[in-house]
Amino acid sequence: MKKEENKQESKQISDRFTTYQKIVMLSLAFIQFTIIFDFMIIAPIGDILMKTLSISTEQFGFVVSSYAFSAAVSGIAVAGFVDKYDRKKVLLVFFTGFIIGTLLCGLSTTYVEILASRIITGIFAGVTSSAIFTIIADLFAPQLRGRAMSGVQMGFAVSQILGIPLGIFISNKLGWNSTFIFIVILSVLMLIGIVFLFKPINAHLQKQIDKNPFVHLWHTVNQKQYQTGFLAIMFLAVGGFILMPFSSVFLINNVHVSYEHLPLVFLCTGISSLIVMPIVGRLSDKLDRFRLFAFGSCAAALMVMVYTHLPVSPLWLVITINMLLFAAIMSRMSPVMALNTMVPKQEDRGAYMSISSSLQQIAGGIGSIIAGMIVFQPTSSSPLQHFDILGYVVVGIFMMCIYLVRRMYLNIQRNAAVVGTPN
C-alpha cells in the first residue's frame, strides 16, 4: 500500500501524463463516448422507433425523459455507498449494468419494453459517468485535470461527428435495434479493457471516516462548500440544455436550413468542439481556471445573442455561427469541471461526483421544461416564437454561473491555503 501511495505522490509532481494515465484517459473517453452515444441516438432514430413500435409522441417523450430521471435518482441513491469501494469495481459493476440495459433496448419489441429498458440503462449510465470523473480526480493531479477532463469530454464531440451519423446509417440499413447492439459490442470491448488494463483505485479507502453510507451521504450534502459546487453545476447544466431541444426546430423553421443540410451543421459543430476541447484543456492547466471560464462564458453569451436572433441566412453563415457558439459553450466545460473535482476531499469524491452528476441530469430536465414554457410554435411548419427570449434567459443563467463558479473557486483557494495543496 505504501508503494502505491508513493507512486501517487510522484504523479502529483509531474505535469506530464504517464503511459498508464494516457491508457486510462483514452479508455474513459471511449466509455464516455458509448454513454453519450447511447443517450443522444434515441432522438435521431425516434421517427423509426415510433413507427416500428406504434408509439405516440407523448409516449416517446417518456422514453427520452425516463433515461435522464432514472440516472438522476440512481446517482443520489448510491452516493453514500460509492466511496466505500474500489473505484475500478464501481465502474465495472455499473458499466456492466449499462451494457445489459442497452442490450435490452436492442431486444425490445413493445413500448413497455423499450421504456423499461431505457430506465434500466439510465440507472447504470448515471453512476458510470460520475465514476469516470471521480477516477480522473483520483488519478490525475490538479495541474493535469484540465487536459484529462477535455480528453474524456471529447467523447461528446466524437459522438456528434461519428456516432450519430453511423448510428443513423446502421438504423436505416439494419433496423433501429441494431444501433443498440452496435453500442453493446463497443461497450463489451471497453469492459474487457477495464478488467485487464486498470489497476485498483482504492487510496481513498484509507481516509474514510463515516462508516455508515447514509451518514456519509448526509455529511456530503450538508457541507456548505459542496452545496456551492452543486449549485454551480446545476446552473451550468440548465444553461446548456435550454437551447438544445429546440435548436433544430429553430434552424429549420426560422433560419430555413433544410433537413438535408442539418446533419452537415451538426457535423461541423462536432468538428469545432473536437478542435477546441484539447486547446482549452491545455489552457485550463496553465491559466487561471476561473478567468478562463468567465471569458468563455462571456464569449458564449455573445454568440447566444447572435444565434437566437438569426434571420433567414445562407448555410455557410449558419454553420460558422453554430461552430463559434458551441466552441464557446464547450470552452466553459473543461475549466469548470476541473475545478469541480477540486471541491470535495478525496474521501468524499465518489459521493460528491454522484450527486453532482444526478443534479446535472435533473437540471437538464428542468432546462428543457423551462424552454418548452417559453417558446411555442403555432403550427408544425410556422416559425418558432420567443426563441430570442430564450437567448436572454440563457445569458442571465451564464452570468449567474460566473458568480457561483467564482464562489467555488474562492473556496478552493482558501482550502488550498489551509491544507497546503489542492485536492
Q: How far apart are CA 231 and CA 237, in angstroms?
A: 10
Q: How far apart are CA 197 and CA 91, in angstroms?
A: 13
Residue whose C-alpha is closest to residue 292's, from 239, 238, 328, 243: 328
pTM above 0.95, yes or no: no
- In the predicted model, is pLDDT for residue 82 greater than 60? yes
Residue 337 has phi, psi (to 5 degrees) of -70, -35
Q: Range of 109's domain?
A: 2-198+205-419
Tell me what pLDDT residue 191 has.
92
Tell me what pLDDT residue 8 has.
47
Tell me what pLDDT residue 13 has.
45
Q: What is the mean pLDDT of residues 317-340?
A: 84
Residue whose C-alpha is closest to residue 78's, from 89, 66, 62, 90: 90
Residue whose C-alpha is closest to residue 331's, from 285, 278, 396: 278
Residue 256 maps to which CATH number?
A: 1.20.1250.20
Is residue 401 within 8 A of residue 335, CB to CB? The reply is no
How many structural domains are present in the chain? 1
Report pLDDT digits (tens) over 35-63.
Answer: 888 877 776 676 677 778 887 756 776 77
Q: What is the DSSP string of 359-396?
A: HHHHHHHHHHHHHHHH-B-SSTTSPPBSHHHHHHHHHH
Is residue 303 within 8 A of residue 324, CB to CB? The reply is yes
Torsion, Cα of 330, 334, 336, 338 (10° steps): 170
